[in-house]
A and B are shown apart, each in its own frame.
Chain A
Amino acid sequence: MEAEEWYARRGRLKVFLGYASGVGKSFRMFDEARRRRERGQDVVVVALQPVRSQEVNDLVEAIPEIPARLVDGVPVIDVDAVLRRHPEVCVVDGLAWDNPPGSHNAKRWQDVQQLLQAGISVLGSVNLQYIEELGDQVEKLTGKRSRHTIPRSFLNTADEIVVVDAPANFQLELQNRDVTDPGAASRQQKLSELRELALVLAADVVDQQLEQYLERHGIQELWGTQERILVCLTPRANAATMLTSGRRNADRFHGELIACYVEQPDLSQDDRVALEANLERARAMDAQVKMLYGEDPIAVIIGFARERGITQIFIGHSLKESWRDRTWGGPVDRLIRAADGIDVRVFPH
């Protein structure tokens, strides 16, 4: 109940996520601020971007402001002044700023956290390239890496996250319907990949929040809104094929790849070595690797699959079966039978 109480007292965080400047996040955010004011909420702007479009400026002018303090030329939210004034809602245009050295908080998102803890709600905007965990991917696309970042974990605490989506050619479209500029295509390609990243990021945040929400309400459901592939490794399984296929499918579906191994007693030395190689391969392919324990491997796999919301199980099948398995059904048959509601893909080896 303590957690519930804490949650009830905390301010609400709503994040407007874009994938490039000019996509219209600030406009959407200030437009919401305007509408909230019209509904009687006490809204105050506490941080602005140095460069703003005319449209945004028109909206901003109508909202009261507690100006950011300039410290060494860097705008810093005046947290003390905001806490004293204690508005219902604050607007922070640009969540990913570093405060100058010597500030109470090193990062602006920590200032925001302080406001939330004081029961003040926050509307904030951020571009994809400022999410710390996406740094590598963004750098690969744009060649640039931002020093000012916010961690993904902070984004996960947002009560609401809105994607401000527009086609990647939105900037070009405004000028001319037929674009013949030779650099336009590659620019558009990059923007479009950033756009895809933003959509998937939002979907992942929504997925996590949905999971927490269902858990909080004690509901166990498997909705499969995200594909999750579980590759069952054994020493002799055709691990390379299963993992390659699993990776490809997980990427295509923007899903998750998990590899598991059910611990077996008395493995031979050769099997132990082969298994280690397979597990290593799984890690190299960026699969989450999970060791499972239990007497009945099938029951353990199915139990884990249900707990993790797995939608597809990949399993190897030996073509050389014993007469007993052929007659009574081997482990693969038992797995298929037990995997009610989950797809099973059988790989020959």
Chain B
Amino acid sequence: MDRVGGHPNFSGVWSVMNTANWDIEPHLARAALELRPGPVVPVPAKAIVALGAVGSVPAGMGVVEGGKIPYTAEALAKKLDNQKHYLERDPEVKCDLPGVPRANYMALPFQIVQSGKTFLMSYEYAGAVRDVLFTDPGAAPIDSWMGQSFGKWEGDTLVITVTGQNDNTWFDRAGNFHSADMKVVERWTLTSANTIRYEAQITDPATFTKPWKMSMNLYRRLGEDARLQQFKCVEFVEELMYGDLRKEPLK
């Protein structure tokens, strides 16, 4: 195992090969992220229809251990309501920063830059970035989109506690959400030269009846695939967010 500073070296470009960003719970493929009642079965929301099959949701085995997220009754109702209003509520639609853990299993890769003392994660999506602190920083001074990451090594596993995230981020495109009190404890373990086992325990009493865990594999990108690109999506959502404010709005 390649090591740096005495620890496993995670440096490289990584990504998942699952559909967790669509829905972290087990799911079959469905017609769209936002549906409306149809004469026979639910059909895609009007704004999604034009995308056809591209707007549909691929199936997935899910990454939530046990399958279901233990929502409180009130929180579950909100999650279902989020699905009904997906297009206007998912922060990814507006290119907002993704938060943790979602950043790690979006369709786009991220790069870890690790030395003997630094562990930096640079995400292709929206240029999000995390710097893992190895000296206890205390409580986060203010909530932020990507939160505060405090890491420590437990043998060859890097354990990162993420706090101080705001309540604007989601877990996926299926309306799964959390409060600003959420604590995420990530466990990063190299299981081979080119694979990472990633686990995240979620604790958020305001939203869930008990802590729960997600886990999945991350795969190293090799060769020509191992070069992080840029996905500055802000400019891609300007028509969505500001189109009605143009001097001459498009028809």
A and B pair up: no
Name A residues whose Cβ lies closer than 8 Å to a Cβ of B: none
